[in-house]
């Protein structure tokens, strides 16, 4: 009785909806900045940062949160595992060679140290704020976002997009930048909507939800990425399994066997084995295998602190399989392991990967608690959150941890921890007395303390956000400039290039873009100093070294070109195209011995190819 009364009082106090979390979910899902070089990822990263700072200032001074940590063991463990993950990730960041990349992340996704710090803080805040009394409000937000994305996806499919996205992919990219991400996001929403069919709604509402779910799955299919359908099937299968298990154990056990068998044959089909190969195999799965093996190679070479946070792209050429360039071309690169755990293992090392694994394992245990402690219609309100998190986890096995997906995964993970607190509430009277005492003690200083914390953190973040914003907007503006026609215009053009190039925290790849534009619009000779500065910032940038080599070759300075092509050979031992150019340079300067050695290297790594035949012909000229 005391437990039930205490829970009733606690739920009454906690019915306040976490509107701030709803806002950040909505904002990150739909955020676009049309005047930026990258219109999607940076603005989502900034929104994550701003909200996490707000949430952190709340967590530090909120007496309710401190009391929850004191009375609920799962919050203590969750905080401990989050802090452990942050500490190990920070140590890996310290050993990252290019600090701007380690802190913010490489261009395209911004998956540096700060990204995971922001996500962890938001997940922690979600754990404290979500419970069964307010979780249904999250489903209302999901309905609105799902319906909007479904309509937008239909417009994209039929060629009526309101934005002019520059993409070579399937047109259904929503606001994710990639049909794979769009498919996974829609798959997650379809599972959340499906769980609502078992909640306390009228028949007409359920009918509308059913139609919404069908159209979500249809748009997911149109996106052309099977991962969304596969992960959605996993989430829906989990919900059905729990439902039938509660209705009839024999039916539940039969369904479990069917799902396990289907899962095994599906995985075999992805590997081109068995009868489901035609349905589940996709060439990109083969690509993932090469990505994963390269990640394992990076880990073996740098087991403790990895190759550097989000530095996968800088090491891919060195650790890619010898067969990879023969299949995909010598300049084809990969910027991510396309598996979150392997990405963290290769770029952060064993301690980061283990701490992340333990964190996921802990949430998995709490998810089992959630499944066990709720019953009736309440069960499916909680079960949908668990199923949505399973979808996020499933897609992370073969995908990139993009913010538009990860924000949902980390919020759902935190919500699972919050929902799992129902069965562990203890001594509610003591809890109330301590909470009231803490409120009285901190009420006078609460606003002042929180303002100081928030102000300090926001000022620190502005030191990152403002340079990033200037970089995105100035680079966008710079890339729009036409070729200068006279010396005055050349001077203005190079001045703008210097302005963008000199921005603090600018990514090396953005500097590469500036350098390349100078080469195209002004001259090769003028661009080389820019390229060399990029190499100073990022000593492993293979693309820039190749560009410098080409520049020197066009200037008939093969001796200088050889220096950089030899460096490329060390960073990209299977780059036969670079070796062929190096062989030609050796022949130009009369170093036939080195040319023969280079030719033999080409024949070894690319036997029987067109490049091998060219290497042989060069020696006969």
- pLDDT(284) > 70: no
Of 309, 334, 310, nearest to 320 by C-alpha is 334
Alpha-carbon distance of 348 to 154, in angstroms, equals 40
Please say whether the beta carbons of 238 and 249 come within 8 A.
Answer: no
Least trusted range by pLDDT, from 16-30, 154-168, 252-266, 351-365: 252-266
- Do 280 and 270 touch, CB atoms closer than 8 A? yes
Query: With 90 as the cut, is the pLDDT of residue 472 above it?
Result: yes
Rounded Cα gap, residues 92 and 83, in angstroms: 14
Higher pLDDT, 114 or 269: 114
H helix count then E strand count, the chain: 30, 0
Three-class DSSP labels, 191-229: HHHHHHCCCCCCHHHHHHHHHHHHHHHHHHHHCCCHHHH
What local confidence, expressed as pLDDT, does residue 428 receive?
43
Reply yes or no on whether the pLDDT at 11 is more than 70. Answer: no
Considering only CA atoms, give the Rg of the chain.
27
- Which of the four pLDDT bands, split at 50, 70 and 90, describes residue 316? very high
Range among 123-137, 271-285, 551-565 rated most confident: 551-565
Confidence of residue 271 (pLDDT cuts 50, 70, 90): low
Task: Evaluate whether 344 touches 356 at the Cβ level (below 8 Å).
Answer: yes
Q: How far is CA 20 from CA 16, 52, 54, 193, 315, in A?
A: 11, 10, 9, 22, 39
Query: Which residues, other chains included, contact 162 with Cβ-Cβ below 8 Å and sequence gap of 6+?
Result: 155
pLDDT at 423: 45
Cα–Cα separations (whole angstroms), residue 375 to 245, 256, 371, 526 = 12, 20, 8, 71
Contact 309, 346 (CB under 8 A): no
131: DSSP letter: -
Inter-residue contact 332 to 323 (CB < 8 Å): no
**DSSP assignment of 48-70:** HHHHHHHHHHHHHH-HHHHHHHH
Q: Select from 102, 127, 109 the least CA-distant residue to 406.
A: 109
DSSP codes, 596-614: HHHHHHHHHHSTTSHHHHH
SS3 525: helix
Q: Kindly give, in sequence order, each residue whose CB lies less than 8 Å from that of residue 45, ignoring residues fewer than 6 positions away.
A: 104, 105, 110, 114, 115, 118, 403, 468
The string of DSSP letters for 399-418 reads: S---HHHHHHHHHHHHHHHH
Region 314-343: mean pLDDT is 92
Q: With a threshold of 0.85, does the pTM exceed it?
A: yes
3-state secondary structure 319-386: HCCCCHHHHHCCCCCCCCCCCHHHHHHHHHCHHHHHHHHHHHHHHHHHHHHHHHHCCHHHHHHHHHHH
In this structure, how many other beta carbons lie within 10 angstroms of the beta carbon of residue 488?
A: 9
Q: Which of 519, 459, 534 is nearest to 483 (CA)?
A: 519
- In contact, 306 and 300? CB cutoff 8 Å: no
pLDDT digits (tens, 9 = 90+) for 453-470: 899 999 999 999 999 999
The rounded distance, in Å, linking the Cα atoms of 111 and 469 is 17
Residue 507: CA count within 13 A, CB half-sphere: 27
**What's the mean pLDDT when you consider all of the chain?**
87
pLDDT, tens digit, 9 for 90 and up, residues 50-79? 999 999 998 888 777 877 777 788 899 999
- The residue count of the chain comes to 621
DSSP state of 426: -
| Helix, strand, coil shares, percent, the chain, to 5 | 75, 0, 25
| Residues 383, 242 contacting (CB under 8 angstroms) | yes
* Percent over 70 (pLDDT), the chain: 90
Report the Cα–Cα distance between both ends of the chain, in Å, rounded.
95
pLDDT band of 5, cuts 50, 70, 90: very low
- For residue 61, the model assigns a pLDDT of 83
Q: Residue 116: is its pLDDT beyond 50?
A: yes
Q: How far is CA 517 from CA 485, 490, 589, in A?
A: 15, 12, 30
């Amino acid at each position: 009785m005391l437990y039930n009364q205490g829970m009733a009082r606690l739920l009454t106090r906690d019915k306040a909806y976490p509107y701030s979390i709803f806002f950040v979910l909505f904002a990150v899902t739909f955020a676009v900045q049309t005047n930026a070089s990258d219109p999607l990822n940076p603005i989502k990263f900034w929104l994550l940062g701003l909200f996490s700072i707000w949430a952190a200032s709340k967590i530090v001074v909120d007496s309710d949160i401190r009391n929850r940590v004191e009375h609920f063991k799962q919050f203590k463990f969750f905080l401990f595992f989050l802090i452990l993950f942050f500490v190990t990730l920070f140590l890996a960041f310290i050993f990252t060679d290019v600090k701007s990349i380690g802190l913010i992340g490489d261009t395209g996704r911004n998956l540096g140290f700060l990204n995971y710090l922001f996500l962890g803080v938001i997940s922690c805040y979600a754990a404290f704020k979500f419970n069964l009394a307010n979780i249904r409000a999250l489903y209302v937000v999901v309905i609105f976002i799902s319906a909007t994305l479904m309509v937008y996806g239909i417009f994209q499919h039929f060629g009526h997009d309101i934005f002019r996205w520059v993409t070579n992919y399937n047109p259904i990219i929503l606001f994710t930048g990639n049909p794979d991400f769009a498919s996974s996001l829609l798959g997650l929403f379809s599972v959340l909507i499906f769980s609502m069919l078992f909640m306390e709604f009228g028949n007409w509402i359920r009918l509308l939800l059913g139609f919404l779910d069908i159209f979500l799955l249809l748009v997911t299919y149109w996106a052309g990425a099977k991962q969304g359908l596969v992960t959605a099937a996993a989430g829906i299968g989990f919900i059905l399994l729990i439902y039938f298990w509660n209705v009839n154990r024999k039916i539940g056990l039969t369904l479990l066997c069917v799902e396990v068998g289907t899962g095994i044959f599906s995985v075999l089909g992805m590997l081109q084995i068995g009868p489901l190969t035609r349905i589940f195999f996709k060439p990109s799965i083969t690509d993932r295998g090469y990505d994963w093996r390269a990640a394992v190679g990076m880990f073996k070479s740098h087991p403790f602190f990895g190759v550097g946070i989000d530095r996968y792209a800088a090491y891919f050429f060195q650790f890619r399989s010898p067969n990879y360039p023969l299949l995909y071309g010598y300049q084809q690169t990969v910027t991510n392991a396309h598996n979150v755990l392997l990405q963290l293992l290769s770029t952060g090392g064993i301690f980061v990967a283990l701490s992340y694994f333990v964190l996921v394992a802990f949430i998995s245990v709490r998810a089992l608690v959630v499944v066990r402690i709720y019953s009736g219609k309440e069960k499916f309100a909680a079960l949908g959150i668990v199923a949505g998190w399973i979808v996020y986890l499933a897609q992370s096995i073969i995908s990139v941890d993009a913010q538009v997906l990860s924000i949902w995964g980390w919020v759902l993970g935190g919500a699972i921890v919050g929902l799992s607190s129902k069965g562990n509430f203890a001594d509610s009277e003591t809890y109330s007395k301590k909470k009231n005492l803490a409120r009285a003690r901190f009420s006078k200083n609460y606003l002042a303390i929180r303002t100081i914390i928030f102000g300090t953190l926001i000022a620190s973040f502005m030191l990152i956000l403002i340079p990033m914003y200037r970089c995105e907007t100035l680079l966008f503006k710079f890339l729009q400039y036409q070729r200068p026609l006279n010396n005055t215009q050349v001077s203005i053009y190079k001045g703008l290039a210097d302005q963008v190039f000199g921005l603090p925290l600018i990514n090396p790849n953005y500097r590469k873009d500036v350098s390349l534009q100078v080469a195209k619009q002004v001259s090769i000779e003028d661009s080389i100093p820019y390229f060399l500065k990029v190499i100073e910032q990022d000593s492993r940038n293979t693309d820039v070294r190749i560009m410098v080599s080409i520049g020197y070759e066009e200037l008939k300075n093969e001796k200088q070109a050889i220096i950089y092509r030899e460096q490329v050979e060390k960073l990209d031992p299977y780059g036969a195209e670079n070796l062929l150019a190096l062989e030609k340079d050796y022949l130009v300067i009369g170093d036939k011995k080195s040319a023969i050695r280079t030719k033999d290297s080409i024949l070894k790594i690319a036997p029987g190819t067109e490049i091998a035949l060219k290497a042989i012909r060069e020696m006969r000229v």
